[in-house]
Amino acid sequence: MADAARTQSARVLIAADKFKGSLTAVEVAEHVTAGLHRVVPELDVTALPVADGGDGTVAAALAAGFTRHEARVSGPTGTPVTATFALRGDGTAVVEMAEASGLQHLPDGVFAPLTASTYGTGELLLAALDAGATSIVFGVGGSATTDGGAGMLAALGARFLDADGVPVAPGGGPLRALATADLSGLDPRLARTGIVLASDVDNPLTGPKGAPAVYGPQKGASETDVAALDAALAHYAEVLERAVGTRAAAHASAPGAGAAGGIGYGALVGLDAAFRPGIDVMLDVLGFAPALARATFVITGEGSLDRQTLHGKAPAGVAAAARAAGIDVVAVCGRLQLTPEALGAAGIRRAYALTDLESDPARCMTLAGPLLERAAEQLARDFLA
């Protein structure tokens, strides 16, 4: 396929994720296209920005032709924020929890590990239902929260009460006071809506590999906070088991339960969501298969190609699908932390890193666009000219 890709009949598919902190997936595709065309002006290039369910998922859906919708919802600390979701004519919605409850919405960037809530994510799901969604791809990641999805479920009609019959306060910490849970008031439209939990995280809810222990420190949780959150979420799961039965206990250890501070658990138990690896879901939704069918060469990538890339991130999913179709794949990235052998095992022939062109990380981030065009030029000379 490499020889075929060098001919003028080459059809290049750019299916790359964002370079977090510097370029969106759409911008990555634009800069790669510009660099390729400087070397091979007549090259047939198709851009299909991709995402793996985390932040940038809605942007990828919009780039694929979904319609943009906005809703005013509660941010993670209660301050109103404007959140975006995407909707297609067939009733498929793409909802990204980070749009409502992400780290970027923390006022002044101050963490709130014990009190940040997913309530706004529930409001965003309601907005999607109000707009006519009949199936929802629910992308989770980049959250500021560790509340097990309790806030989300409360916004959707569930009730979480303490021993005095008073609603528990927002956040994961206050769940230690939870006495009863009632999910009977959940919006009835949810029962008629297929919801797919799209995530690259397979952690359980609690324990050494659970949401508080693994991801809590990234959200400002101290060692004491992690212990408190883990105990609170374990108690939350026990109360939900009394409310809905043994499936609540089973879901606590299921893959995806620990995603985004445990919102995966709330979606599995309360929304009857089906967990699927985020990149698999998004490739289906974005129409990757037909785009791949007409391609002879694929370019993928993300900000950092590292060990995490190999575990459900977008480049690994793209490369696996392309390799199965017998199509060569190369990657672009901000930094490369994988050996040639690891890349090859993932189905990626070669990777072009911006840090090879600019060693200073700060300048690399600032100049990511022009550097990426230079990398794409070299890629074109190596494989397509």
Per-residue pLDDT of the chain (385 residues; tens, 9 = 90+): 444 444 458 999 999 999 999 999 999 999 999 999 999 999 999 999 999 988 899 999 999 999 999 999 999 999 999 999 999 999 999 999 999 999 999 999 999 999 999 999 999 999 999 999 999 999 998 999 999 999 999 999 999 999 999 999 999 999 999 999 999 999 999 999 999 999 988 899 999 999 999 999 999 999 999 999 999 999 999 999 999 999 999 999 999 999 999 999 999 999 999 999 999 999 999 999 999 999 999 999 999 999 999 988 999 999 999 999 999 999 999 999 999 999 999 999 999 999 999 999 999 999 999 999 999 999 999 999 9
> Cα 82 from chain centroid?
19
**CATH 3.90.1510.10 domain extents, the chain:** 57-279
Q: DSSP 3-state helix, strand, coil percentages of the chain (rounded to 5)? A: 45, 20, 35
**What is the chain's alpha carbon radius of gyration, rounded to the nearest angstrom?**
22
Contact 107, 80 (CB under 8 A): no
Contact 105, 144 (CB under 8 A): yes
Name the pTM for this structure: 0.92
Burial readout 75-91 (b: 16 or more C-beta within 10 A, e: otherwise): bbbeeebebbbbbbeee
Question: What topology does CATH give the domain 57-279?
Answer: Glycerate kinase, domain 2 (3.90.1510)
Give the residue carrying structure tokens 């950092």. Answer: 304
**Is the domain defined by 2-48+287-383 classed in CATH 3.40.50.10350?**
yes
From the list 160, 62, 86, the residue with the least C-alpha distance to 119 is 160
Tokens of residue 163, six digits: 């021993």
Contact 278, 199 (CB under 8 A): yes
**CATH 3.40.50.10350 domain extents, the chain:** 2-48+287-383
